[in-house]
Structure 1
Amino acid sequence: MEDYWFLILVSLSVAALLKSLISVFAARKPSLPPGPSVVSIIGNLTKSFSDLEPFLRSLHAKHGPAVTLRLGNRLAIFIADRTLAHQALIQNGAVLADRPPAQPVSRITGSNQHNINTAFYGPTWRLLRRNLISEILHPSRVKSYSHAREWTLRILRTRLHESGSAQPVRVMEHFQYAMFCLLVFMCFGDKLGENQISEIERVERQMLLNVQRFQVLNIFPSFLTRILLRQRWSEFLRLRRRQEEVLLPLIRARKSLKEGRAGSKIKEEDGAGHVLAYADTLLDLELPEEGKRNLTETEMVTLCNEFLNAGTDTTATALQWIMANLVKHPEVQHKLLDEIKSLIGDRERTGEEGEVKEEDLIKLPYLKAVVLEGLRLHPPGHFVLPHAATEDVELGGYLVPKGAVVNFMVAEMGRDPGVWEDPMRFDPERFVGETETSSFDVTGSKEIKMMPFGAGRRMCPGFGLALLHLEYFVANLVWSFEWKAVEGEEVDLSEKLEFTVVMKNPLQVQLYPRPSPTDSTSTHGP
């Protein structure tokens, strides 16, 4: 009997010990970041997708640096803290380098995740990204497009000159057209006519400007939306077909040219005006995960769409924000002009072309500071493309479970008062020491202070090209014109979400061509 009671006491003691141990371990297990109820989420997001950012900003103010949103069976975690972003994208880069399964609309626009932005983290993504970086974004290849940048600059300056100084100029449409000229050339290798470029621009812009309208097709199951929202589906599919109708002839023309050159045994670049275009590099790619098959024409259209949109709308948007701040802060514009003048003024007096050359850019640290400050304060995208966790990972004491979608509030990090003094003030001086020593790391590999191009393994591969284009065009636009606000109007820096975050009221300015030593008839602004 005593043995019986002894066994009972031992069993109870062991049970109590196990319970306490379980409680300790359970307490130590990280939990999801806090967040609102599903009802609250639906109530906010059914108003407009553009309400997402202010909604998240209020959640972060209440709950802290990371919040969780639940919508159905989808789990999304949004991070607004730069330290957590570095933990996620750099320290745990492989775990969070994947993409979530595509939603109905992006399954079509991304050819079932056969482009760089949406492809799953694996061999296909590596092939597509490596092709872009080695064939098009390699420094030697970028340099080979310098004549195309000069051609684009002439187009842009001509359009701005023709707008005249007698009336205000709305510049964004000119920026967008110029960037399309440049990216279309890089994509298809030909300086197309104005009508053809305008048609490409029109079909691409129509799709981009309707991105938010088509988001509703992703919220509910496609079998429902195809019945209840069939008109919107029809509109979306019509725009997609139109993209194919416009771009496929250009891709086929490059294929015919490639076959003709191969037949005549002419080198890929023979010095006779032929340059390698992005479309050329897609023709012979073999997908490693799909029996080494070649890309379909539809997949090539998707990749060309991605190339055009990644390099045109984002760059034009950033350019408008930078020039708007130079108008709003004429003292910054004057300082930048003085830097350029000190570099190329003597060259102009000796009769050389009065233009900022690409090789000049490295000698213009204040120019770099202006561009970086514009990207910090006004990143074209306030979120990155969504990441997906391939396994459970802990970030800052929070659990990010396998399969969760993770995103990052880019603008909040660039405007963090804990990092940037008076963060909403446009002040390139904060970057001057950084750029002179080339110490500022826009990739965030050591520390994330801002991330306008993302960070980590899925960072935008074209960030170097984007910086080159912004520096080149900002420098030459300031050298060619004096940019002044329209009399009686102030530059409005309010934001509006389209495909990128643009100026709610597009920039409208007075432009005055700057005089040169050989042109005494040029006029300054009053």
Structure 2
Amino acid sequence: MTMTMMSLTTSLPYHIQILVVFIISIATITSLGRILSRPTKTKDRSRQLPPGPPGWPILGNLPELAMTRPRTKYLHQAMKELKTEIACFNFAGVNVITIHSDEIAREAFKERDIDLADRPHLFVVQAIGNNKTMGFSPYNEQFTKMKRAITTELMSTKTLNMLVASRTIEADNLIAYVHSMYQRSETVDIREISRVYGYAVIMRLLFGRRNVTEDNVFSNDGRLGEEEKKHLEAIFGTLNCLPNFSPGDYLERWFGGWNIEGQGKRARLNNNIVRSYNNPIIDERVELWRKKGGKAAFEDWIDIFITLKDENGNYLITPDEIKAQCVEFCIAAIDNPANNMEWTLAEMLKNPEILTKAVKELDEVVGKDRLVQESDIPNLNYLKACCRETFRIHPSAHYIPTHLARQDSTLAGYFIPKGSHIHVGRPTLGRNPKIWKDPMVYKPERHLEGDGISKEVSLVESELRFVSFGTGRRGCVGVKVGTIMMVMLLARFLQGFNWKLHPDFGPLSLEEDDALLMSKPLLLSVEPRLSPNLYPKFQP
């Protein structure tokens, strides 16, 4: 300690002197440790972490992250300055690996998938899933049990076929809702109506009904009741609490109970609201199936979940696990279709020739004498190409859900220590000029046959040139349901109505906000394009 520092500290109260000396000592030890542990220059990358910006003692790069809005901007800017597509940030001792390359992403989720298949233990995530769900659980027996049950039972072809009628009711209700708005000369908020559709479909699949309370009174045009609106709002409130480079995610091992930035409190509050609607339905159904003999047949996912048994004849999924998994289903299934729909329609209005081509395909494949059905989806390749292009250029999040290294591994030849958080960028893949020609040009044709895509277009991008549903052990198991929801939403909108910008919206702008949503909700005017008898009535 220098004489100046000594004279400074001796002028302070004794307890402050102790604190100052402690902080200086820790900073000195940390800095010395960083110097001594700094890898030597070597051609063997496997002994080196990926490149990263210099950091502060103890906190590493966390101060810069905390001071930047949106926080992903700091990551992107640092990687740009480092001229790298894989980087390692130190956030209070946590190694955070960010990947902006399709080649490295494929290595991570194909070659190294087993090494990186865990999830970080974060307070916010525990408040939602409590290590009981497929998506949030560590890579262990609980994860394997839940994934097997969901994949082989809920998402099986047999179950999806059983629930076609439930999904079709909500596709019809979508048309009824928009048509009623036309009759009342109302503006159509595409974001709002797409979220209503996604919510209603998931409620039908989970619980076999749209209403979440017995005494709720519905409008007769497709709008949600007041309780459903509160339920949906809480679902998005829970979704918005998920980890997204919050400093609290990295400091919680020190201040876990301090509710840094309030994310823990918000997560618990919204999660409790969601469960206040879900749990009574689940409790009633558990009582029916496990104590009163059940029903004549399964009608929804909850019926199947409740009745599953293991090889010893014991019930496989506990009521608490079912309740946690239902929250995860809710927050995982609604935002993606709505985001995709809003951006797709906006891009089509910006590029009328694309809209014309999509409508022409619908008229040729389906015609104008009946409504498009799920059975038509395999033949609607151009519509699916539009959905793919929207996924590519307008993803619904900056990064895929966080992966955690279960053991020491390597990526791009660099050393990846056990416990590292792995993040793969979504817009940085889909908008990467090394992967895509003219990446900011909306061009669905790039996904059609002749550009390396099979004859029947799929929304899955297994080569991770962009991210739609993810891949690997932690990839989305609801690809079929997600594809159905997205394509039916777009197909029913385009087949049933002509769309144009509403005067209140102003000039069409494709500007995005910090969360990658359209900066302003898309407001449109609508006119029917089918015979009046084809527009269905609302079905509660």
TM-score under structure 2 normalisation?
Answer: 0.80
Q: Secondary structure at the match of 1:120?
A: coil
1:181 Cα deviation from its structure 2 partner = 0.9
1:254 Cα deviation from its structure 2 partner = 1.6
Q: 1:510 and 2:525 equivalent?
A: yes
Give the whole-Å Cα distance in 2 for the aligned partners of 1:244 and 1:162.
32
Change in Cα spacing, 1:225 to 1:455, as seen in structure 2 (3 Å) is closer
The question of whether the paired residues in 1 share the 8 Å contact of 2:343 and 2:394 is answered with yes
Q: 5+ unaligned residues in a row in structure 1: which ranges?
A: 1-21, 270-274, 349-353, 520-526
The question of whether the paired residues in 2 share the 8 Å contact of 1:382 and 1:411 is answered with yes
Q: 1:253 and 2:269 equivalent?
A: no
Q: Secondary structure at the match of 2:349?
A: helix
Give the whole-Å Cα distance in 2 for the aligned partners of 1:242 and 1:29.
47
1:508 Cα deviation from its structure 2 partner = 1.1
Number of aligned positions between the proteins: 476
Match for residue 218 of structure 1? 249
The question of whether the paired residues in 2 share the 8 Å contact of 1:383 and 1:408 is answered with yes
**Structure 1 counterpart of 2:506, which letter?**
E
Match for residue 481 of structure 1? 497
State, as a whole percentage, how many aligned pairs show the same letter.
Answer: 22
Which residues in structure 2 correspond to 1:131-150 (within 5 Å)?
Answer: 131-150=149-168
Change in Cα spacing, 1:215 to 1:356, as seen in structure 2 (3 Å) is same
Match for residue 22 of structure 2? none
Give the whole-Å Cα distance in 2 for the aligned partners of 1:146 and 1:243.
26
Match for residue 35 of structure 1? 52
Q: Secondary structure at the match of 1:38?
A: coil
Q: Secondary structure at the match of 1:221?
A: helix
Change in Cα spacing, 1:507 to 1:46, as seen in structure 2 (3 Å) is same
Match for residue 262 of structure 1? 293
Change in Cα spacing, 1:204 to 1:286, as seen in structure 2 (3 Å) is farther
Match for residue 163 of structure 1? 181
Give the whole-Å Cα distance in 2 for the aligned partners of 1:103 and 1:413.
26
Q: Secondary structure at the match of 2:439?
A: coil
Give the whole-Å Cα distance in 1 for the aligned partners of 2:491 and 2:452.
16
Match for residue 124 of structure 2? 105
1:99 Cα deviation from its structure 2 partner = 1.7
Q: Deviation digits for residues 77-122 of structure 1, max 9, x if unmatched?
A: 001010011111111211111222x1112111121x2211121222
Change in Cα spacing, 1:338 to 1:25, as seen in structure 2 (3 Å) is closer
**Structure 1 counterpart of 2:526, which letter?**
L
The question of whether the paired residues in 2 share the 8 Å contact of 1:98 and 1:390 is answered with yes
Q: 1:60 and 2:79 equivalent?
A: yes
Q: Deviation digits for residues 250-299 of structure 1, max 9, x if unmatched?
A: 10122133236636xx5534xxxxx13246415656799xxx88655443
Match for residue 204 of structure 2? 185
Q: Name whichever of 175-184 and 410-419 sits farther off.
A: 410-419
Give the whole-Å Cα distance in 1 for the aligned partners of 2:477 and 2:111.
19
Change in Cα spacing, 1:210 to 1:188, as seen in structure 2 (3 Å) is same
**Structure 1 counterpart of 2:162, which letter?**
S
- Alignment RMSD (CA, Å): 3.2
Q: 1:303 and 2:325 equivalent?
A: yes
The question of whether the paired residues in 1 share the 8 Å contact of 2:108 and 2:411 is answered with yes
Q: Secondary structure at the match of 1:502?
A: coil
1:390 Cα deviation from its structure 2 partner = 2.2
Give the whole-Å Cα distance in 2 for the aligned partners of 1:116 and 1:365.
31
Change in Cα spacing, 1:333 to 1:209, as seen in structure 2 (3 Å) is same
Q: Deviation digits for residues 210-235 of structure 1, max 9, x if unmatched?
A: 55799465343377464576977555
1:157 Cα deviation from its structure 2 partner = 2.0
Give the whole-Å Cα distance in 2 for the aligned partners of 1:484 and 1:154.
22
Q: Secondary structure at the match of 1:94?
A: coil
Give the whole-Å Cα distance in 2 for the aligned partners of 1:366 and 1:161.
25
Give the whole-Å Cα distance in 2 for the aligned partners of 1:232 and 1:450.
29
The question of whether the paired residues in 2 share the 8 Å contact of 1:495 and 1:503 is answered with yes
Give the whole-Å Cα distance in 2 for the aligned partners of 1:466 and 1:322.
16
The question of whether the paired residues in 2 share the 8 Å contact of 1:214 and 1:236 is answered with no
Among 300, 312, 315, the alignment partner of 1:276 is 300
Match for residue 406 of structure 1? 422
Q: Secondary structure at the match of 2:397?
A: coil
Give the whole-Å Cα distance in 1 for the aligned partners of 2:338 and 2:41.
55
1:207 Cα deviation from its structure 2 partner = 2.6
Give the whole-Å Cα distance in 1 for the aligned partners of 2:422 and 2:318.
31
1:66 Cα deviation from its structure 2 partner = 0.4
Q: Secondary structure at the match of 1:475?
A: helix
Change in Cα spacing, 1:24 to 1:470, as seen in structure 2 (3 Å) is closer
Give the whole-Å Cα distance in 1 for the aligned partners of 2:258 and 2:330.
32
**Structure 1 counterpart of 2:66, which letter?**
T
**Structure 2 counterpart of 1:36, which letter?**
P
Among 131, 138, 141, the alignment partner of 1:120 is 138
Match for residue 522 of structure 1? none
Q: 1:89 and 2:109 equivalent?
A: yes
Among 224, 229, 242, the alignment partner of 2:273 is 242
1:497 Cα deviation from its structure 2 partner = 4.2
Q: Secondary structure at the match of 1:484?
A: strand
**Structure 1 counterpart of 2:96, which letter?**
A
Match for residue 330 of structure 1? 352
